[in-house]
Structure 1
Amino acid sequence: MNQKIKDIENSLCTLYIEGKMSNLIEKYSYSDKIKQYLNNLKLDIIENIDVFVEFENLDKEFVENFINRYEVNVMVNNSIEGAPVVIEETPEYQKLIGLVEYENKSGNLVTDFTMIQPGSLHLANGGYLVLDARKLLESYFGYEALKRCLLLNKIIIENLKNQLDIIPIVNLKPEPIPIKTKVILIGTPEIYYILYNYDEEFRKLFKIKADFDYEFEDNNENMITFVKLIKYIVQEKNLKDITFDGIQEISAYAKRKAESKKYLTTNISSIIEILEQANQIAKDNKNRYIDKNDIKLAIENKNKRNSLIKDKILSLYRQNKYIVDVTGFKIGQINALSVVDYGDFEFGRVNKVTVNTFCGNGNIINIDREVGLSGNIFNKAILILTGYIGEKFAQTGNLSFNASICFEQMYGEIDGDSATLAETVALLSSLAEVPINQGIAITGSVNQKGEVQAVGGVNTKIKGYFDICKIFGLDGSQGVIIPESNVDDLVLDDEIITAVKEGNFNIYTVNSVEDCFDILLPASIKKGRKTNNFDYVEEKILKRLNKFKDNKEKQKKE
């Protein structure tokens, strides 16, 4: 009788459930696995019909645990339109491939399928996953897990602890999920080339490289895009609107960051920083809009906050502890310009270059190189200088002089070739025994033919020398010599532009070493000459070299 009653209940239950389940089975008929699950669900409900009949009379905890078996753990919700785009900020192992969580019950670790958590790869399946390459490589086992999933074309959820334990605990083993995801790694060129050269699997998986330029050209189309970007930042950050003059000022700042008046930087974070600070200044002043003055003040405040070391160095110049001449004429001395870069702040530094020349065998000694305070590029520049001097004055015989070159009061390492022009001019001045203008500082690279080449940081260098000239007073005789090829890089501060317009400061451009002497020689020497001032210097050098040669021959005879 009990069996017959059981059969009748099962028949009634089957009849009832069939009507409910048929719609679901038809809806998901495209998936054999879902159909199989629904059929198994139907059989399980029929088999446990007693629990449903006595539902209200059973223990509450038992009922809750029983009902859990019919829950659905929705790991990924694909209700969005289009392909998903997931940006994973912390690409750790379990953040990428998911994990099985555990619950502590009476001192025991318990888990079930409802505690299976998805990873970024699940969420981005069928779409795009964006990862920071540096963070991915820094994560423990994250990079290897990502490669394994991409190579196998499926995601296997496995707790990292189980891979490390000698005796792993019993764990659920979710079925591998097929994956079709485009993974985008964002990082520096250095990271890309390290992975490309040392990881063959990286080459196989990441075949498309897209380089982002650090600057973009200043044209109408790009400026419209730039203004739209500023507008987007204003709306996204809830900032005040910016006036036309404010837009011009922030674009000038972007050009200074790019070190060119023809290009703007793509370092958007630095622009956002200035806009946010300018917005606060506008709020404090109760301005309706962010204007030019707010932008300028934000830039000025940022520089002040970061300029402690610069201020200390300027103080040393002010106290004459760093010796520099910005007026008068001297032989074998010149002010060279360099850049000190601390990452978040850079400033121009003035270095006095001195040269002594005397009778010898053509050895040009750089003191900084001899004591190991110079880098490879700087050492190369000295050899280039030697080649230029050799071609110029040793065509009919050996050089008959020695020279020592020194960056005075330089106590750290120096590198780069932007001081080559200054060293060459100072050397020629010493050889010719002709004085040169100490108010004119020089920056520029030189090749073996005496042609002046472009250098970096030209705006910073000009600003650095201008600040020092202000300490001792601008009298119109000061200025800088820069390569002609650096003209397009000039994006100067308003203060310097005003000083140039008023004749208190000068910026000269040259194409060759010879051009410098049209600017640097005293007026008494240049009087009556137009562009052949170097002929005078060359003549004086040849006379002195012949004098050295005669003295050496005289000594040999003696």
Structure 2
Amino acid sequence: MDIKSLDASLLYHACDLGGLDFSTTETLEILPEIIGQERVLESLRFGVGIPHEGYNLYVMGSTGVGRHRVVTDTLNRLSQPAGKRSLDWCYVANFDDPNQPQTLCLPPGMGRMLRQDMEILVGDLLGAIPTALQSKEFRHRAEEITASLQEQEEKIAADFGDRTREQGIALLHSPNGYSLVPLKDDKILSAEAFRELPEEQRSEIESKIEAFHRELRDTLGQIPLWQREMRVRYKALEQEVAELVVNRLVGELTRKYVEQAELVSYLDQVRSDVLDNLERFRNNEDEAGNLIEADDPRFTRYRINLLVDNRDGPAVPIIYESNPTYQNLLGRVEHRARMGTLATDFTLIKPGALHRANDGFLVLDAEKLLSNGFAWDALKRTLNSREVRIEPLERQLSMLSTITLEPDPIPIDLKVVLIGDRQIYHLLKAYDSDFGTLFKVVADFSESLPRESGNDEMFARLIGTLQRQEGLHPVTKTAVQRLIEEAARNAGNGEKLSLHIGSLLDLLKESDYRAEALDSESIGAEHVQWAIQQQLHRVSQYCELMQQEILNGTLMIDTDGIQLGRVNGLAVVQVGDHAFGLPNRISATARIGSGEVIDIEREVDQGGPIHSKGVFILAAYLNRRYARYQPLSVAATLVFEQTYGEVEGDSASAGELCALLSVLGDIPIRQSLAITGSVNQHGEMQPIGGVCEKIEGFFDICDKRGLDGTQGVIIPETNVRDLMLKRTVVEAAEAGQFHVYAVKHVEQALELLTGLPAGVADDQGIYSEETLNGKVQARLAEWFALRLSLSGHTIGE
């Protein structure tokens, strides 16, 4: 057996920027775009450029890779053509049906101008119409209308009076109306004198008066018709005078906006409505004598609801909606409480993100969108119909019992960019038939960058770019190297760099905080190291508690001596964003049986499917290695001691196999070593995740108990490239106090754990008794013979 521990230089893939000449990042060239995301940038360029419907984008990747930053920067860079501006959208009153407000589409900036012009128009009308209706010319013409009626009435009364006077009857006119009285010698006969007349004469006079009364009623009955005619003429006069004013004021606006046909049509409707409702403008003072302003509620119908104002906006709007609820996407109609009831009008229509992003891009978080009820379906309807229709959510639920507005829909031309993780994308792709037709462009972020030639230098420029964008202290060359090394550790592979920009930026800011606290002009490696240690310290309390449980013996882990059927396995514990390694005792028992390998975790539903798969694989290895020519006469059990949660993953299958072979061959195992790795059916060691955390977890326990040069960890050889161990582990390895062994096959691990050679089978498939495989083979043959004898058979039968 000649398996040596890894050289300390292989335990940490250090960064060497010797070929890059700089002292701080201030002198490094800024990156024009993010590195390592060429595939994403190509997808974004394609999605922005293609003009056809359905080519909305889904941007996927894990949190922290800079999805929002890259999407926003790329959209701003690719989608701002010179000379292009997004349009203004307004809601205005529908004078024929107030419950269905109309839309106006205007060039950018014109909406704000129109809103101001309409306010001025109402104010001008409030001043000009009353003035016109009180002018001398208007009063003179009005008096002529009144005088003509009076003249007509007086003429008829005079003619009627002449006829009655001929019959001895006088027609008298008083404020209370007309009356008929008898005459004698052209003088009015008093009542006393009338009573003294002979009865026959009185009767004759009364008959005349009654006849004239009837005729007078018929004659005067035409006066209301004449008065109505007068009112019609008076109203026509008002209309004529007001029309001159209204036509002049509205005409000025019409000429100003003559190129906007839709707006000209609306202004014509305004002109007609003002003339139909002159009573609103007849007086410019209220009952208290205060001047009526243009913002008075009675003139709300002439206001402009500027829904989307793009006068000061970018050429192409890029809107990020952080709370994509139904109403925040589609807009809403608000209400006011008036006299105990809820009232609304078109000025209370509020825009949604889809309105603001029209002619541009709407960026949404997929998880937030899907977690808001009805928002996803509403977005799909909008994209399919290419128009935004504002409908109360209560109507969708059939809960709306009051009358509300039904604004005209607004046509849209935009692209939606959904940002989410890969799981959401695949779920939508599998279960939503509309998703594939609406989101045809996928931009998939890379999680890491290979540490190939030049990439370390590019990453250094990335650090410099972030430093200047955030206004941080310059970063020294040694600090850049330390940041790059930490990015490699975060990638879980010493030959790659993590592209989680969020984590890198956090580390930069915390390092800058330390440099500022120490009055340093630049961020040095010591500041970066302090930030790394502080990040770990803030989240490591649970890890320290678990380690203390091991050190005080509550969790039984041996780091010296030998044990039969016991192996120190290694596991990674994830607590929030923090992962740390801890050793676990794996134990095995074996007896005569019929080939069963019982996984206790699986039997009690504590083991996950991947862990159970690993146990089945190691059972297959046992059969392949030792049961080619005879049944495997063993009943074995495997368990993770003192675990009280779910056990998942197959990285302990190598340790479980070693523990099982230990008990089968009656071969003790060194407890100073721990092992991690999965095996296949041929015993080959397969790579596992979290190798650095696992090694460091066992090292910390050994270090606290005291290193004696015998402790170490066995890992698959394919994990050597992943090693980015902390400094204390590397220093212990350099001093020969701690060892990391890399093996290709589980038999190499067994040789390290037991001190025995694995052995090679002869032509008959027999191993030497002095080898590990020979001892296991002998024990299995013994149990097979014993099993036959107990069943009444012999080997020769």
- What SS does the aligned partner of 1:209 have? strand
Residues 518 and 533, structure 1, Cα contact 8 Å, conserved in 2: no
Matched to 2:264, the amino acid is K
Partner of 2:708: 475
Change in Cα spacing, 1:50 to 1:433, as seen in structure 2 (3 Å) is: closer
Show CA shifts across 1:441-463 (max 9, x none): 11011011111111111111011
**Could you say what secondary structure the match of 2:443 adopts?**
coil
Q: How much has 1:238 moved relative to structure 2? A: 3.8
In the alignment, which residue of structure 1 is the partner of 2:735?
502
> What's the CA shift for 1:14?
3.3
| Secondary structure of 1:455 counterpart | coil
Shift of 1:411: 2.9
Instruction: Provide the TM-score with structure 1 as the length reference.
Output: 0.89
Greater relative contact order (CA < 8 Å, ≥ 6 in sequence): 2
Alpha-carbon shift at residue 144 of structure 1 (Å) = 2.1
Name the aligned partner's letter for residue 37 of structure 1: Y
Give the equivalent residue in structure 2 for 1:539. Answer: 774
Q: Deviations for 1:257-312, whole angstroms, at most 9, x for unmatched residues?
A: 22111222233333333333323222222222222222222222222222222111
Structure 1 distance, partners of 2:237, 2:530, is 91
Please list the CA deviations of residues 298-335 of structure 1 after superposition, one character each: whole Å capped at 9, or x if unmatched: 22222222222211111111112222222233333221
Residue 262 of structure 2, aligned match among 24, 33, 46: 33
1:5-84 aligned at under 5 Å gives the runs: 7=240, 10-11=243-244, 14=247, 17-26=250-259, 28=260, 32-44=261-273, 55=284, 59-61=290-292, 63-65=294-296, 68-79=300-311, 80-84=313-317
Question: Could you say what secondary structure the match of 1:114 adopts?
Answer: helix
Letter in 1 for 2:529: K
| Counterpart in the other structure of 2:654 | 421
CA contact (8 A) 1:479 1:508 kept: yes
Q: CA deviation at 1:222?
A: 4.8
Count of matched residue positions in the alignment of Structure 1 and Structure 2: 550
Q: What per-residue deviation string (whole Å, max 9, x for no partner) do you get for residues 481-505 of structure 1? A: 1111111111111111111122111
CA distance in 2, matches of 1:453, 1:146: 46
Shift of 1:418: 0.6
Structure 1 residues 269-278 or 49-58, which shifts more?
49-58
| Distance in 1 separating the partners of 2:396 and 2:290 | 39
Q: CA deviation at 1:369?
A: 3.1
Q: 2:684 aligns with which of 446, 451, 462?
A: 451
Query: Using the alignment, how far apart are the partners of 2:348 and 2:608 within structure 1?
Result: 59
CA–CA separation in structure 2 for the residues paired with 1:182 and 1:204: 13
Alignment map for 1:42-191 (pairs within 5 Å):
42-44=271-273, 55=284, 59-61=290-292, 63-65=294-296, 68-79=300-311, 80-164=313-397, 166=399, 168-191=401-424
- 1:131/1:63 CA distance change after superposition, 3 Å: closer
209-218 or 12-21, larger mean C-alpha shift: 12-21
Contact 1:25 1:38 in 2 (8 A): no
The 1-side partners of 2:246 and 2:615 are apart by: 96
Cα 1:34–1:429 change in 2 (3 A) is: same
Q: Residues 100 and 116 of structure 1 are in contact (CA less than 8 Å); yes or no, is this contact kept in structure 2?
A: yes
Contact preservation (8 Å) 1:85, 1:128: yes
Query: What amino acid sits opposite 2:640 in the alignment?
Result: F
Which stretch of the first structure deviates more once superposed, 230-239 or 489-498? Answer: 230-239
Secondary structure of 1:350's counterpart equals strand
Shift of the alpha carbon at 1:136?
1.2
Alignment RMSD (CA, Å):
3.0
The structure-2 alpha-carbon separation of the partners of 1:542 and 1:219, relative to structure 1 and needing over 3 Å to count, comes to closer
Amino acid at match of 1:35: V
1:485-524 counterparts in 2 under 5 A?
485-522=718-755
What is the deviation of 1:374? 1.7
Name the SS for the 2:510 alignment partner.
Answer: helix
Match of 1:301 in 2: 534
Q: Gaps (5+ residues) in structure 1?
A: none
CA distance in 1, matches of 2:314, 2:292: 40
Identity %: 35
- Look up the match of 2:552: 319
Gap change, CA 1:489 and 1:331, over 3 Å in 2: same
Which residues of 2 match residues 265-344 of structure 1 at below 5 A?
265-344=498-577
Tell me how far apart the structure 1 counterparts of residues 358 and 567 of structure 2 sit (CA, whole Å).
Answer: 65
Tell me which residue corresponds to 1:439.
672
261-270 or 147-156, which deviates more: 261-270
Does residue 345 of the first structure (1) align with residue 578 of the second (2)?
Answer: yes
Larger Rg: 2
- The counterpart of 2:639, out of the listed 388, 400, 406, is 406
Unaligned runs of 5+ in 2: 1-140, 143-235, 761-766
Q: Secondary structure at the match of 1:476?
A: coil
| 1:548 corresponds to | 783
Q: Take 1:92 and 1:38, find their aligned partners in 2: how far apart are those partners?
A: 36
Deviations 1:38-58 (A, max 9, x none): 333455567778977965787
- Work out the CA distance in 1 between the residues paired with 2:711 and 2:737: 7
Give the distance between the partners of 1:92 and 1:42, measured in 2 at CA. 40
Q: CA deviation at 1:64?
A: 2.8
Q: Distance in 1 between matches of 2:690 and 2:304?
A: 62
CA contact (8 A) 1:104 1:110 kept: yes
Q: Secondary structure at the match of 2:695?
A: helix
